[in-house]
Amino acid sequence: MALSQAAAAFEDAVNRRIVPVLRRRGWRPRTIAFTGYGSTESVRVLARVLMARPDEHSSVTADVDADDDDLDAAQEAQRGWRSFFTAQVAHLPVTIQVGEAELRATTDRGGYLDVVVHDHGLPPGWHEATIRARAAEPVCAQVLVVGAETTVGIVSDIDDTVMVTHLPRPFIAAWNTFVRHSSARRAVPGMSQLYRDLLAEHPDAPVFYLSTGAWNVVPTLTRFLRRHGFPEGPLLMTDWGPSNTGFFRSGQEHKRTELRNLVITFPQVHWLLVGDDGQHDPLLYDELAREHADHVAAIGVRVLSPAEQLLAHGTPTELEEPVSKARAEHHVPLVRGRDGHALRKLLPHVLERRLSRVTG
């Protein structure tokens, strides 16, 4: 047995023993709902079920209400610490209600729920799905239904694209979890205004935030995005636990998979892909453009400073040079800039010219 498989088996064995002990101590399952999305035909519903202490709320949602901005920072930090050291409830029966459709499913080995509900009958816009996990209080999850007439969408990276922590990349997850003050993280200048400008031209365009970060930090990131004026949209995160193929899941494969899922789910949408050159975003976006050139309208890349490059991957220069040969094949325009203000000067105009070609 490979070491990664042994690690996954060990994690499962430990969790199977912990959950009954916690139940005897009065702990109960708690459902954490994430923002889902889909079309008028089907929606993807995302959630996780964890064991919760008796004095905690029986059900919560990862979407942050405005009143949460006033929560005590120490309480938030404690919640974040617990999110990485709790027991997930695996293989638990769950019922999902979305519009006219109902689906029965079970959580996976990590306590996650990731299902597609068909024939829900909901129109385009924001709606709620009800998730009822056995022995847990029902919780509502926000779901975004994208209409068939929508032809433009935005995919944005998070770390170093809309948010900077000035820490080495391996420490960012811990920073997001343990340091909860919004002032501890800085928004990239002009990025929220860039997205608002784009939405002013395309008000029905969905915005997806794609990150290699763990689902555990979604509440923190949601609060940050809201405070700094970024448009609302689903966050597509990943699970860091061991799997049958490795000790940690591949961040690049996570992004590849989610990008392709969006292309498949919304075949009529032309995507603006926004990232940074500190990791693998340019390469991943080039790959998608080469495979689906008709579905990628433009690529925007935030250029990191030498100091930011050093924190991102250990060298002061760009990790991967733009793949000029691939770009010559797909002809998708690329705009680079130091921040949102620089990107705003060219990216909206480049996007409109490209859309006129691919939709005309």
Whether 30 and 68 map to the same domain: the answer is yes
pLDDT of residue 206: 98
pLDDT reading at 11 higher than 70: no
| Largest distance between two CA atoms of the chain | 64
pLDDT reading at 345 higher than 90: yes
Average pLDDT over the chain, rounded to whole? 82
For residues 243 and 3, what is the distance between their CA atoms, to the nearest angstrom? 10
Whether 118 and 162 map to the same domain: the answer is no
Whether 223 and 110 map to the same domain: the answer is no
Find tokens 């964890």 and name the residue.
50
**Residue 106: enclosing H or E segment and its boundaries?**
strand 101-106
Q: What is the CATH number of the domain that holds 79?
A: 2.60.40.10
Interior CA angle at 126 toward 205 and 159, to 5°?
Answer: 60
Q: Sign of dihedral through CA atoms 176, 179, 181, 185?
A: negative
User: Could you give the C-alpha distances from 152 to 27, 149, 193, 202, 208, in angstroms and in order?
Assistant: 45, 9, 18, 7, 12
The residue among 86, 120, 146 that closes a domain is: 146
Whether 191 and 321 map to the same domain: the answer is yes
The phi and psi torsions of 47 (rounded to 5 degrees) equal -165, 175
pLDDT of residue 151: 97
Q: Which residue has the higher pLDDT, 174 or 97?
A: 97
pLDDT of residue 54: 79
Q: Comparing C-alpha atoms, which of 297, 357, 35 is closest to residue 155?
A: 297
Q: Comparing C-alpha atoms, which of 191, 236, 190 is closest to residue 215?
A: 236
Say which residues have a Cβ less than 8 Å from residue 314's Cβ, sequence separation at least 6. Answer: 168
Percent above pLDDT 70 for the chain: 72
Say which range, 68-72, 87-91, 169-173, has the weakest mean pLDDT.
68-72
Whether 116 and 166 map to the same domain: the answer is no
Q: Which residue has the higher pLDDT, 196 or 9?
A: 196
For residues 245 and 11, what is the distance between their CA atoms, to the nearest angstrom? 14
Whether 205 and 343 map to the same domain: the answer is yes
For residues 291 and 278, what is the distance between their CA atoms, to the nearest angstrom? 23
Beta bridge partners of 106: 93
pLDDT reading at 74 higher than 60: no
Whether 227 and 318 map to the same domain: the answer is yes
Whether 251 and 272 map to the same domain: the answer is yes
Q: Over the stretch 81-95, which tens digit does the pLDDT of each residue have?
A: 455 556 889 999 999
Whether 293 and 190 map to the same domain: the answer is yes
Whether 315 and 205 map to the same domain: the answer is yes
Q: What is the CATH number of the domain that holds 283?
A: 3.40.50.1000
Whether 217 and 315 map to the same domain: the answer is yes
The phi and psi torsions of 121 (rounded to 5 degrees) equal 75, 15
The residue among 146, 175, 198 that closes a domain is: 146
Q: Over the stretch 208-256, which tens digit does the pLDDT of each residue have?
A: 999 988 888 888 889 889 999 999 999 999 875 544 444 445 678 999 9
Pairing of strands 235-238, 270-276: unpaired
Q: Over the stretch 121-135, which tens digit does the pLDDT of each residue have?
A: 999 999 999 999 999
Q: Comparing C-alpha atoms, which of 161, 148, 149 is closest to residue 347?
A: 161
The residue among 146, 181, 205 that closes a domain is: 146
Q: Which long-range contacts (CB under 8 A, 24 or more apart) does 77-84 make?
A: 77/178, 77/179, 77/180, 79/219, 80/176, 80/177, 80/178, 80/180, 80/216, 80/217, 80/220, 81/177, 81/178, 83/177, 83/216, 83/217, 84/177, 84/214, 84/216
Contact 167, 174 (CB under 8 A): no
Contact 182, 332 (CB under 8 A): no
Pairing of strands 112-118, 42-52: antiparallel
Q: How many domains does the chain have?
A: 2
Cα Rg, the chain, nearest whole Å: 21
Percent above pLDDT 90 for the chain: 56
Tell me which residue range forms the domain holding 298.
Answer: 152-359
Whether 124 and 187 map to the same domain: the answer is no
Find tokens 């070491």 and name the residue.
3
Q: What is the pTM of this model?
A: 0.86
Strand intervals (E) in 119-268: 125-133, 139-146, 152-156, 163-164, 186-187, 207-214, 235-238
Helix axes 251-265, 281-291, angle to 10 degrees: 30
